[in-house]
Amino acid sequence: MPKTLKKRIDKTLKGHFDTELVQMEPIIIPEDLSNKLPESFLTERLFRLINDDNELGYAYVGKAPSLSEYFDFMVIFNRDLMVVHSKVLIYREDYGGEIGSKRWLRQFEGASPGQAFIINHDIMAISGATISVNAMTLAINELLDCFKTLSENNVL
């Protein structure tokens, strides 16, 4: 994982959990199950979050396409597999960066595995950020589907 991305992940975890002692333990997904997940799901970027032997929840660091680049994002789940925080870590375009606003990202909080969001119904569209809004919403929907599959197969 690139150093800049790792720094932003650490800062996000520190801010969310109000501690510097959050460990990210990679979750190993069996190959047969990994083959059932979408190609866009980066299996090496799924982590169990631990503090002093206490499980805090889970984190996923993903990538999603924007107009001509991609952006990195992070979603934090609690132990009950509900989304408690999401953040755009690195956005590489001139337009569409509004998806990184806390207000917009808060729409995903409380989501659980298998849930799906629909733009203009559950998720606000953003003028000038249509591609990024679609990409982030699709990425979250796919992530929630993957978490459902992983939960049903006792990986989480």
Per-residue confidence (pLDDT) for residue 96, from 0 to 100: 85
Number of helices (H) and strands (E), helices first, in the chain? 4, 5
Residues 74/61, Cβ–Cβ less than 8 Å: yes
The DSSP symbol for 3 reads H
DSSP H or E segment with residue 137: helix 130-152
Domain ranges in the chain are 3-152
pLDDT along the chain (156 residues), means of 10: 92 89 92 88 91 93 92 97 97 89 96 95 90 94 96 93
- Rounded Cα gap, residues 1 and 77, in angstroms: 20
Token pair, residue 137, equals 């919403």
First vs last C-alpha separation in the chain: 22
For residue 5, what are the CA distances in angstroms to 8, 30, 126? 5, 26, 25
- C-alpha dihedral sign at 42, 88, 10, 59: negative
Per-residue confidence (pLDDT) for residue 64, from 0 to 100: 93
Whole-prediction pTM: 0.93
What DSSP assignment string belongs to 40-80?
TS-GGGEEEEEETTEEEEEEEEEEEE-SSSEEEEEEEEETT
